Structure 1
C-alpha cells in the first residue's frame, strides 16, 4: 500500500471493536473485526479502568497520570498489532486520515484516544475522534440524498435491547443543521417467536409520529429470519430502509474521508451534544483602544476547543473579565474571574504578565487556568496559579 493513501475508521468499544478502511486509489472499502492474528480483540479491561478513572475522587487524582500512561501503552500496542494484521504495519506512513469512534466521549476517552494517536505517530491534522451519534450522522449523509432529505430513523439491536433514535433535519437554517434525538427503548421477550410482533409495535410507536425519508437498522441480533412482518413495515410510506452491519466503523471512516479528503458536506452542520455552543472572548486594550478579542468560538466539539495565550493585566483589581455569547441568541454575558492573592501594586504598571489556558471538561464546562509568569529577570514569577470553571 502506498504512503498516505488509506482512510481508516475504528469502532472502539468493549467487546466487538471493528476497523473500516478505504483505499483512495482503488476506491475500495473493507470492514473487519479488530483482531490480533486470528484472535478477536477485547478492550473490556481498558474500559473498566476508564470507568473507574472517570468516577474516582480527588484523593486518587495523583495516580491518574500513571494509570492513563499504562492504558495508552496497552491500547496502542493492541491497535498497532491489529492494524498490522490487516496489512497496515506502518500507520504513520500509510494513513492519511483516521477517526476513532466510541459510544460516548468523556474526558478519559479523549485522553486515551489522543495518547493512542501520539504513540502511532498520527498528528491532529489527520486524526480525529467522535461519539457514535456523530458517526451515525456521517454514515447517513454519505448515503444517497433521498434517504436523508427528511428525518432518518435509527434502530439499534444489542442482545434483546432495542433503542430508537432519529437524525432530525432543519432545512430552514443556513447551513442546514442536523441533530440526533433520543427515542424509546424496549426489552424483547426471552421467547424469540415474539420479537417480530414486539418490533412491529415499536415501529408503530416511533415512525408514525413524524415524517421519515429513511430508516437504518443495525445490531447483532436483528435479521430477516425472525422479522418477517416488521421488515415489511419499515419501508412503508416511501421510506428507504436498510440494514447496516459495522455502521459505526463505517461512519468513522466516512468522517475521515470527509475531513481529510473529500469535504463535500460544507453546507451541513451537525449539532451534537459535544458541540460548544458559547463564544468566549475578552475585552482588551490594543494600541490604546478597547477591543474585543475572541478566544474560543462556538461550533466545534469541546475536546477540540482550547486556547493558550499571554496578556498583561492592567487596572486596579486582580481579576479577569470574560464575555460569553450563545450560538443561538448572541446575547453577551459578563463573567469575572477573581485572582485572590495577586498584588497589582507589587510591580510597575505593564509588568503583570499572565499565562492563560482555556479548555473544556465537556460541552457545558470551560476550564480557565491562569499562572503568574513574572516579567523577565526584574520581576520573577510568584508561582501563583488560579483555576475556575465556567458553565457555558
Structure 2
C-alpha cells in the first residue's frame, strides 16, 4: 500500500498540515473546513507548556492532536501507512522524544517519523521551486505576535555537494499600538520594517523574498513593500504555508519522490559533525562498523545494535570529524561485568544524541542464551564530540 506523505508545521498558536498529492505531484495544504481556505489548525493551548514541562499528560495531548491533524487529510489515511516530517521553530530533546512517542502511540512506525526546524523547511521549500528564485540569496521575514524575524538562505557552490545555509538574520520587536493613533502606528512599523530590510539586504543580491504571517498588510507596510517590489528581478511572495510544504517536500525526499537534491547539503548548527564508529570482527576480518553518520540532525541521530564482546571489559567508540583529520577514541569501561568465558557476553548498545555535541551511550548486558542469563546490568556514558 502506498504511503501518505505528510508535512506538519507544529506551532504554539496554530499548526498546518500538507500532503503529497499524486494528482498535482506537489504538496497540498489541507483546509480544516471543506470548500473554504481555512488552513490554520488551532494548537491545544496547553500543549507546549505540558511538553516543555515534561508533564505526562502532554504525550496524550500531543498524540490526540496529531491524530486530529492527520484526520483532516481524509478518513482513508491510516497511521501505519504514513510518512511524516514534523517541523518546528526549534526542536529540543523534550520535543524530539515527545513527537516520536506520540507518533508511536497513534500507530506511525518510528522509521517513518522525521523532524526538522523551520529553517531547514524554508530551504527545502525554496530548492523545490524554479531555480530563478534561488539563483541568488533568498530572504524570509516572519511576523509573529509583535516580532519580525528573518532568515537568509545562501548556497556555497565552491564545495561538492553545494552547502545550503539558512542563517538567522536581524529581528525587531515592534511592540503594540498602545496610545498611538493608527496612522502613527502604521508609519512607525513601516519605517522600522524598511530599516530592517535595508540592513538585511545591505549590498547583496536577493532573488526572492518570502513574507510569512497574516500581519504583513499593505495598509501599514507601504514603503517597505514598495522597496521589496522595486527590483523587478526579485520575486516577493506572501503566505502562511511555506513551512508545512517545505516539510512535505523533505518527507518526499526521504521516500525518493519528486525533485532530487543530491547536489545540495543542508548545513546548520543542529548537524552532528562527527562520524561515530567502532571496530568489529566479522567473519574473521576486522572492519569498521558505522554507528552514526555526520551530517544528520542531532535530534534524529540514534542507533541501536547488538554484538558479542571479545576478551575485554570495555567498548571503544571512534569519532572522526566530517572535515577530516584523525579519529578520537572514547573508551567505555564496563565495571562489574559478569565473568564469563571469551565471547559469551552479548551486549545491546544504543546511541542517542541529546544535543548537537553530546551523545548518550547506553549498554545492556543480554547474557548468552540459557548458558549465561542476562545480569540486568546497564552502563551509561555521555560522549562529548
TM > 0.5 between the two? yes
Q: How big is each residue's C-alpha offset from its partner over 1:264-286, in whole Å with a ceiling of 9 and x where there is no partner?
A: 21221111333222111112334
C-alpha change, 1:330 and 1:103, in structure 2 (3 Å) is same
Query: Is 1:257 the equivalent of 2:252?
Result: yes
Q: Which residue of 1 aligns with 2:93?
A: 107
- Partners of 1:388 and 1:213 in 2: CA distance: 47
Q: Which residue in the other structure is 1:306 paired with? A: 302
State the distance in 2 between where 1:87 and 1:372 align: 45
Q: Judging changes above 3 Å, is the alpha-carbon distance between structure 1 residues 28 and 94 closer, same or farther for their aligned structure 2 residues? A: farther
Report the alpha carbon displacement of residue 289 of structure 1 after superposing the two structures with TM.
4.2
1:18 counterpart residue number: 16
Contact 2:51 2:59 in 1 (8 A): no
1:119 to 1:211, Cα distance in 2 relative to 1, 3 A: same
Inter-CA distance 6–307: structure 2 relative to 1 (3 Å threshold)? closer
User: Given the two structures, how large is their TM-score scaled by the length of structure 2?
Assistant: 0.86
Give a deviation string over 1:172-199, Cα, whole Å, max 9, x none: 1111121221122111253232111111
1:28 & 1:373 partners in 2: Cα distance?
A: 47
1:271 aligns with 2:257: no
Does residue 364 (structure 1) correspond to residue 357 (structure 2)? The answer is yes
- Is the Cα contact below 8 Å between 2:304 and 2:349 reproduced in 1? yes
> What does the per-residue CA deviation read over 1:329-355, in whole Å, with 9 as the maximum and x for residues that have no partner?
343111111222225xx2222223322
5 Å matches for 1:172-321? Answer: 172-188=158-174, 190=177, 191-236=185-230, 238-260=233-255, 261-315=257-311, 318-321=313-316
Counterpart among 330, 335, 341 of residue 340 in structure 1? 335
TM-score (norm 1): 0.85
Whose helix fraction is larger, Structure 1's or Structure 2's?
A: 1
Quick one: structure 1 residues 335 and 139, their matched pair in 2 at CA, closer, same or farther if it must change by over 3 Å? same
Structure 1 pair 98/35, CA: closer, same or farther in 2 (3 Å)? Answer: farther
- 1:59 aligned residue: none
- 2:118 maps to which of 127, 132, 140: 132
1:155 shift after superposition: 1.0
Question: In 2 relative to 1, CA 98–348 (structure 1 residues): closer, same or farther, beyond 3 Å?
Answer: closer
Aligned pair 1:8/2:6, yes or no?
yes
Using the alignment, how far apart are the partners of 1:22 and 1:372 within structure 2? 44
| Residue number in structure 1 paired with 2:181 | none
- 1:2-29 CA distances to partner (integer Å, 9 max, x unpaired)? x747543221112111222342124575
Indicate if the aligned counterparts of 2:311 and 2:343 stay in contact, CA closer than 8 A: no
With over 3 angstroms needed to count, the CA separation of the structure-2 counterparts of 1:44 and 1:163, relative to structure 1, is same
Q: Tell whether the 8 Å contact from 1:88 to 1:94 is kept in structure 2 after alignment.
A: no
- Distance of 1:339 and 1:5 partners within structure 2: 43
Give the gaps of 5 or more residues in structure 1: 54-63
Instruction: Write the deviation string for residues 197-238 of structure 1: whole angstroms up to 9, x where unpaired.
Output: 111111111101533222211123112221221112224554
Is the alpha carbon distance of 1:268 and 1:361 closer, same or farther for their aligned partners in structure 2, counting shifts above 3 Å?
same
5+ long unaligned stretches in structure 2: 178-184
Encode CA deviations 1:265-312: one digit per residue, 9 max, x unaligned. 122111133322211111233444443222221122223332222223
- Aligned match of 2:375: 382
Q: Is the 8 A contact 1:308 1:357 kept in 2?
A: yes
Change (3 A) 1:360 1:40: closer
CA deviation after TM superposition for structure 1 residue 107, in Å: 2.0
Could you say if the C-alpha distance between residues 325 and 102 of structure 1 is closer, same or farther in structure 2, counting changes exceeding 3 Å? same
Give the match for residue 52 of structure 1.
Answer: 53
For 1:34 and 1:386, how far apart are their aligned partners in 2? 48
Counterparts in 2 of 1:356 and 1:139: CA distance versus 1, 3 Å: same
- C-alpha RMSD of matched pairs (Å): 2.8
